[in-house]
Amino acid sequence: MEKQMLIYSHQLDVLMQSEEKVKALRHDLENHLGELAFMAGNQNNEEIQKYIQDMGEYMQNQSELVSCGNKNLDSLLNYLLGQAKKKLNHVEYEVRVPSDLCISAFDLNVILGNLTENAIEAA
């Protein structure tokens, strides 16, 4: 139960960070649009693309590693992958979740927690 609370607490932190970035971008949106309009008026397509890329990178939340649509799984994997990144120099992962996943949050926590711990120890 304590681990589950840590996982949910971590996911709440991730969501709050994302919300703060969205608020900041929304606040500055008028300035961003003005700059993009100026670049478009001067037909600076490369600068426009770079500016949009920079905005996209800013919006990325480095703490949100997984967003598959299953909130329990997102919370658990973001926590576990965050722990793995703290212990290892490099972490590669790919997440594919069947839409009809029928497993309890408890069982999922046990299975993925053990798999992650074993993978970290083996690395």
Same domain? 57 vs 100: no
pTM: 0.50
Neighbours of 31 (CB within 10 A): 9
- 43 Rama sector, left if φ>0, alpha if ψ -120 to 50, beta otherwise: left
The residue range of the domain holding 100 is 65-123
* Residues of the chain above pLDDT 70, percent: 94
Rounded Cα gap, residues 35 and 29, in angstroms: 10
Same domain? 73 vs 19: no
pLDDT value at 75 more than 70? yes
pLDDT value at 29 more than 70? yes
* Residues of the chain above pLDDT 90, percent: 9
pLDDT value at 107 more than 80? yes
Report the pLDDT value the prediction gives residue 31, as an integer from 0 to 100: 84
What confidence category does residue 62 fall into, taking pLDDT thresholds of 50, 70 and 90? low
Same domain? 53 vs 1: yes
Rounded Cα gap, residues 51 and 31, in angstroms: 12
How distant, in Å, are the alpha carbons of 6, 48, 62, 83 from that of 75? 10, 35, 14, 12
